[in-house]
Amino acid sequence: MTAYRPFDDRYVYWHPETKLLDEKRSDLFAEFRPGNLFLTSRQKAERHWEGTPFYVTRHLPDMHLIRSASMCFPSALLAPPAPTNLLALATAAEAGAGFNLSKAASQYLDALGQEFAYAADFISPIWVHSLAIGYSPAYLAENTDGLRLDWPRIPLPNSKDLLLASAELGRKLADLLDPETDVDGVTSWNLRPEFKVIGVATRVDGGNLNDGAGDLAVTAGWGHGGQGGVTMPGKGKAITRPYASEELAAIEQGASAPGLSLEQALAQLGETTVDVYLNDVAYWRCVPSGVWSYTIGGYQVMKKWLSYREKALLGRDLKVEEVREVMRMARRIAAILLLQPALDANYEAVKASTWSWNPK
């Protein structure tokens, strides 16, 4: 499985010798195993509106995951010799592995008194702390110029408690960004009220969707083939409207869980909502405008996903599970947006208590 684009995981055949689709990146594959986390970023922004420069995945990252020439950093490194195929992963893991950190970063953890033992889930607190900071709107706004010119610079907190609190937020983000990890209250089990109304697949006449009658075909013009077979995004059909009263009531009820008022929740989700059409008879109802426009690394996430699924390009209708996946994607992004006040508060706390160090 490879992370092709944000929220778009696909199966791929990897071979250690031949070049079937793209560069093998055998050094990257050598660090792949169940549980390891890859943080993806880039050296500088191509556009001022690219959104967060970070993404995270537990799958092999595509080189263009967030944009051209993405750089991928595994949270943990296998001890040499590195495996060259999937069958060697278990043996290599038993041989031992360590966090992928510089000497200075390791000294920082030691100074905080943070245990540096190898974690069962392969995740270093520094990496998920970086993810939490990188998804803070306040951090992105304050560092716009720097992010356009160079690698993101992440402040480190000067206390163990701050680091672990930030890392916990980063872990929540990592789960929300992983389409294969169910998140209680958001995608599975006791759904919070606000998520129940977001992204519901609906037929325009109020009837039941019929996958055998073409109701799930994406034909609204979300994508078309460009030069060299490259998929190009299209305009599609998305209708912006005010929230219905029952949608507002659900958002207000659910927002109370993270301690937000309706006004605060709408400030994150957007003051309007969008109905996103597959075709003339079917649409995903109530995709908040902030969710619909949400961008990671220059990709408008939901629109990018749809551009690859236009029937003329995909060669088939969507499956029922794929329609549900779009609903879950909308809910995951909504949960990320509702987490933003906590992410901003975390960034402000870290900024007020930043570690001072000399990385020599």
Residue 33 has pLDDT above 60, yes or no: yes
d(CA 240, CA 290) in angstroms, rounded, equals 11
Stretch 40-57: mean pLDDT? 80
d(CA 241, CA 270) in angstroms, rounded, equals 11
Query: What's the pLDDT band for 5 if we cut at 50, 70, 90?
Result: confident
Smallest CA-to-CA distance from 286 within 193, 352, 349 is with 193
pLDDT for residue 36: 80
The number of residues in the chain equals 360
Stretch 53-68: mean pLDDT? 83
pLDDT in tens, 219-277: 999 998 887 777 888 999 999 999 999 999 999 999 998 899 999 999 999 999 999 99
Residue of 345 and 20 predicted with greater confidence: 345
Per the prediction, the chain carries an average pLDDT of 86
pLDDT for residue 118: 42
pLDDT for residue 76: 79
Percent of the chain, pLDDT > 70? 85
Stretch 50-66: mean pLDDT? 84
pLDDT for residue 121: 58
Q: Give the range among 3-17, 143-157, 223-237 with minimum mean pLDDT.
A: 3-17
pLDDT in tens, 70-125: 788 888 776 554 444 444 444 444 445 577 888 888 888 888 886 644 454 567 88
Q: State both tokens at 115.
A: 């245990």
pLDDT in tens, 287-308: 999 999 999 988 899 999 999 9
Please say whether the beta carbons of 218 and 319 come within 8 A: no
Smallest CA-to-CA distance from 131 within 189, 52, 196 is with 52
pLDDT for residue 87: 45
Q: Give the range among 3-12, 65-74, 81-90, 279-288 with minimum mean pLDDT.
A: 81-90
Residue of 285 and 102 predicted with greater confidence: 285
Q: pTM of the prediction?
A: 0.89
pLDDT for residue 86: 46
Residue of 61 and 346 predicted with greater confidence: 346
pLDDT for residue 101: 83
pLDDT for residue 12: 75
Give the DSSP per-residue string, 220-283: SS-EEE-GGG-EEE----EEEEPPPHHHHHHHHHHHTTTT--HHHHHHHH-SSEEEEESSSSEE
Helix axes of 340-352 and 160-177: crossing angle, nearest 10 degrees: 150
Q: What is the CA radius of gyration of the chain?
A: 21
pLDDT for residue 297: 85
